[in-house]
Amino acid sequence: MRRNKIRFIYMIIAGIIISKLLDTIIAGVHPEHNQLIDFCISIGITILVWEGNLRIDSLMNKKFPWEKSPGKRILVHLPVSVIFSAFVIHMSMLAFNKFVCPMPEETKSAFMITAIILGVLISIIILSVEIGTQFFGNWKRSLLEIEKYKTENLQAQLQNLKDQLNPHFLFNNLSVLSSLVYIDQDKAVGFINQLSKVYRYLLDNRNCELVTLDSELTFIQSYTYLIQIRFDKNISFDIDIPKDKMHLMLPPLSLQMLIENAIKHNEISNELPLKVSVKMNGEMIEVQITCN
């Protein structure tokens, strides 16, 4: 519906332009010509040329789609459109000259040439509008695809956050907490505080694409505290990041995923304690795993 309205507006504008040009051309030969008739004829010619070019465009879309061969499309589309438009306007002007406004022979040829040139210009304008509309549509679709990708990426990140800090993680920590309550109440209080910080970080950054290294490391301190309580002396962490790197950005929970994978894929016991080191190497963060 909206496209039809835009097409109608374009045709009216083109019709007015053609009418003014036709009026200027005819005025030199017939000063007392009927401008209303000229306007109606101009609108009729515009509709014929415009609709005909739309049919040509539809045919070209099948033979030479913009997506596959834009160069060939222009090379074929332009001459076909020019020839068609020039033919329609030429025949219309012949009919106009014969039935509406006969012209002297000495001005007839110049009038017809002018009309054909007008047709060529109109076809070029129509094709230019079509090319502009096509490229604008492709650009708009590209933006929508990018936004769709961003949305899907954010959803995947959020799902990844949920997967990483899933109910299994909470269950393990609640099991540790239930034991601490009977063994060391002060340590249990500290454990609860750190656990709350972990989930607070998750909630605060659930819609963030990037966080500062400083905030991620603050979260890692709470996360590794929970792991340390769970595995006791069988695991240790060495985090050495210079303060001048704290402004760097990274996806939330990216360090947590690396540490969790290190724990998940390595044996942790009295015989094989695990050491996880987090260090900077230039602008890169390195996570090193040592099993002693």
Query: What's residue 219's pLDDT?
Result: 92
Query: What's residue 257's pLDDT?
Result: 83
Query: What's residue 171's pLDDT?
Result: 78
Burial of 244 (0-12, 13-18, 19+ CB in 10 A): exposed
What is the layout of strands, in order, in the sheet containing 274-281? 235-240, 274-281, 284-291
Structure tokens at 94: 């012949």
Instruction: Please tell me what DSSP assigns to residue 245.
Output: G
Residue that has been written with the tokens 């010509």 in this structure: 33
Q: Are strands 274-281 and 235-240 parallel, antiparallel or unpaired?
A: parallel
Burial of 126 (0-12, 13-18, 19+ CB in 10 A): buried
Point out the residues of the chain with pLDDT beneath 70: 1-39, 100-108, 110-112, 115, 119, 123, 126-127, 130, 154-155, 157-167, 292
Q: Write the secondary structure of 21-62 as one string of H (helix), E (strand) and C (coil).
A: HHHHHHHCCCCCCCHHHHHHHHHHHHHHHHHHHHHHHHHHHH
Q: What is the pTM of this model?
A: 0.47
Query: What's residue 222's pLDDT?
Result: 92
Query: What's residue 218's pLDDT?
Result: 93
